[in-house]
Each structure stands twice: as structure tokens, then as C-alpha cells.
């Protein structure tokens, strides 16, 4: 593993506002910039009361302006919601303002429900144009040639690094075919992680963007001073997932020691979805994350955290950075 990074959804806790959530993101970004995190990624979601990162490119610009060193980007932009040219202009502008610090991860899902997807896209075309849209977008970031008729300005010649995101074989196959880096959403959909990773590595084709496969594994983290405290804090995410899967999305719930509202069947679904999550003290989290690194050999690991209390939320990321720094150091000395 070469790097570890941070994934932020700008969660909005119960009893808090979106404005407060974005202030927490600002504080978290400053912390990450001073620590060993390599990237700070934000994700596009819509019509979700518990997530404040809907205007993802706007928030990326805010985080980039608050920080100096860390790379900032999207993990990801849901490309079917947007015109490739508009995305190229947005991220070309970001890359022009913050040279060599902007990343663009692309997802194929809408990141929302069907009605909201229709509201976002207005005109829904049949068929899957994601591969063509990715290629079109890559073209806008390339240097302009004499035959180029449409340019992203800013954007042309910025060569913004593009990642393919996925939770199935589709993204793995596309990333391998185009020779792009690949990030797997194992933090909430780990079922096909092993198969997708093998597909990506075995079928990767070198390209002008990348000579060898580069794989990023997303992992959930809920770290605290003790295992007991961490599991208590983690109950918020368990409740949030259970309610989302029951068709009742909302703000990030307060933690509880009583999860009786979650049925046994639903808890099994949630535990399966969050199987790639490290919950506990430093020692427990270190053991779990080390196991993931040894099993999947990611080139990079990106960690996400969903904790109700803003201070505990930031503290979890601080502990994760300490633990991952030690994991990386131990790995490099072998």
C-alpha cells in the first residue's frame, strides 16, 4: 500500500443543520491536510437529508481553498446525472485554481432515487452511455488538436486524473479496458470485492494514463479510545443503513445502546453491507485494517466515517490516520 486517504459525505446528524455539517467538513479538511492523508474525497448524493455533499464540485472547491497540501476530489461524481462537458468545465476550473491537486472519480449510478434522478437529468435517454461519456470527458481534459471543435475552458490540457468507481464487475472491466485507476465501494457494498479486484488486475491494459493497475479500497472506520465506545458510536451508522434500506432515509441518527428497532433480518443485511468496516480502539482497528491490506493488497485505502458527534467524528479520522501510518510504516520496513 502506497497511500491512505479520506472519504467525507458531509453527514448531517439529527439535531444539526447542513450548515453545521459543512463546518465540520471544513474542520475535518484542515485536520486531514495536516496529517498523513493523501486525498480528501467528497461524494455526490441527492435528496438525502443526512448528506450535505450534493453540490460536490462546489464543496471540493471550498475544501481545496482551505487546504494546502492534500489532493481533493470526487469519490465520486455520478456521471449519468451530468453532461460530460459541464463536468470537464467544473473540474478543469478546479484544476486551474488548484494545480496538481484535483482528482475526479466517476460513478455510473445516479446516487439517488428514481424521481430525483429524473429531476436531475430532465431528459432520460434509454441505454447505458457511461463508457462513451467517460471517453468524451477524458477527451475534454486532453490537449486540444487542430480538429478539436468543442473545448472545456478551463479544462482543455489540465489532464485531471480520472478514476472509475464501482461496486460490481462493470466498473472493474471498464477501468481495466481504459487503463484507468479503479476504486471499489467496499465500504457499503463489499460482496463482489474479490472478483472485481481480480478482474481489474488480470485484464488491465496499459494506457497513456496508467502503465500498471492502481486499486483503491474503500473501508468504513469507527475508531475511539475503547472498543465499547466505538461500537456505541457505530450504532448511528447501523441505524442509518437500516432506515435507508427500509425506505426511511433521514439525518444521521443519535447513537444508542438499544438497537431493537432493527430486526434480525435487517441487521444481517446491514452487517453484510458494512462487512469492510473497522470498529474499535486503536488496537482493534489496526488489526482489522491490517487484515484488509494483507487480504486485498490495495495500492491505496480510503476510509469513511459516519459518527453523530462532530468531535468524535473528527477524532475517529485522527485515530485512523495514526493507525494507517503505523500500518504503512510496518509494511514498508518488511
Tell me, what's the pLDDT at 120? Answer: 78
When pLDDT is averaged across residues 246-259 and rounded to a whole number, the result is: 96
When pLDDT is averaged across residues 294-307 and rounded to a whole number, the result is: 97
pLDDT above 90 for 110 = no
Tell me, what's the pLDDT at 258? Answer: 95
pLDDT above 60 for 189 = yes
DSSP of 195-227, one letter per residue?
HHHHHHHHH----SS-SS--EEEEEEEEE-SSH
- Looking at the chain, the whole-number percentage of residues with pLDDT higher than 90 is 90
Per residue in 39-76, pLDDT (tens digit) is: 999 999 999 999 999 999 999 999 999 999 999 999 99
Tell me, what's the pLDDT at 309? Answer: 98
- The Cα 233–Cα 226 span in angstroms is 11
Tell me, what's the pLDDT at 284? Answer: 98
pLDDT band at 231 (very low <50, low <70, confident <90, very high): very high
Mean pLDDT, rounded, of the chain: 95
Domains of the chain, each with CATH number or no CATH: 1-160 (3.20.20.30), 217-334 (no CATH)
- Going through the chain in order, the beta strands assigned E by DSSP cover 3-8, 39-42, 71-78, 102-107, 162-166, 182-184, 215-223, 277-280, 300-304
Tell me, what's the pLDDT at 111? Answer: 58
Per residue in 123-176, pLDDT (tens digit) is: 555 557 999 999 999 999 999 988 889 999 999 999 999 999 999 999 999 999
pLDDT above 80 for 334 = no
Three cell numbers, residue 280: 474499535
Tell me the β-bridge partners of 165. Answer: 183
Amino acid at each position: 500500500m502506497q497511500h491512505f486517504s479520506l472519504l467525507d459525505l458531509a453527514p448531517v446528524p439529527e439535531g444539526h443543520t447542513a450548515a453545521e455539517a459543512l463546518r465540520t467538513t471544513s474542520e475535518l479538511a484542515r485536520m486531514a491536510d495536516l496529517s498523513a492523508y493523501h486525498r480528501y474525497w467528497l461524494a455526490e448524493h441527492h435528496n438525502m437529508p443526512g448528506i450535505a455533499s450534493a453540490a460536490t464540485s462546489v464543496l471540493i472547491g471550498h475544501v481545496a481553498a482551505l487546504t494546502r497540501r492534500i489532493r481533493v476530489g470526487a469519490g465520486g461524481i455520478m456521471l449519468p446525472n451530468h453532461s460530460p462537458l459541464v463536468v470537464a468545465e467544473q473540474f478543469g476550473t478546479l484544476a486551474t485554481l488548484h494545480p496538481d491537486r484535483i482528482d475526479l472519480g466517476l460513478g455510473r449510478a445516479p446516487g439517488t432515487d428514481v424521481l430525483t434522478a429524473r429531476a436531475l437529468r430532465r431528459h432520460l435517454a434509454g441505454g447505458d452511455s457511461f463508457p462513451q461519456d467517460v471517453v468524451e470527458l477524458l477527451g475534454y481534459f486532453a490537449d486540444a488538436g487542430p480538429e478539436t471543435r468543442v473545448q472545456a475552458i478551463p479544462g482543455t490540457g489540465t489532464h485531471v486524473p480520472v478514476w472509475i468507481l464501482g461496486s460490481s464487475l462493470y466498473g472493474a472491466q471498464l477501468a481495466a479496458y481504459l487503463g484507468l485507476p479503479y476504486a471499489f465501494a467496499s465500504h457499503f457494498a463489499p460482496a463482489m470485492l474479490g472478483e472485481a479486484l481480480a478482474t481489474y488486475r488480470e485484464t488491465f491494459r496499459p494506457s497513456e494514463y496508467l502503465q500498471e493497475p492502481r486499486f483503491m479500497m474503500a473501508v468504513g472506520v469507527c475508531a475511539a479510545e475503547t472498543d465499547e465506545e466505538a461500537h456505541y458510536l457505530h450504532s448511528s451508522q447501523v441505524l442509518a443503513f437500516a432506515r435507508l434500506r427500509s425506505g426511511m432515509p433521514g439525518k444521521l441518527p443519535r447513537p444508542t445502546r438499544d438497537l431493537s428497532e432493527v430486526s434480525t433480518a435487517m441487521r444481517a443485511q446491514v452487517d453484510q453491507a458494512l462487512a469492510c468496516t473497522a470498529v474499535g480502539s486503536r488496537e482493534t482497528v489496526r488489526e482489522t485494517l491490517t487484515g484488509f491490506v494483507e487480504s486485498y493488497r490495495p495500492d491505496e485505502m480510503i476510509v469513511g466515517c459516519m459518527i453523530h458527534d462532530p468531535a468524535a467524528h473528527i477524532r475517529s479520522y485522527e485515530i485512523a490516520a495514526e493507525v494507517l501510518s503505523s500500518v504503512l510504516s510496518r509494511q514498508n520496513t518488511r
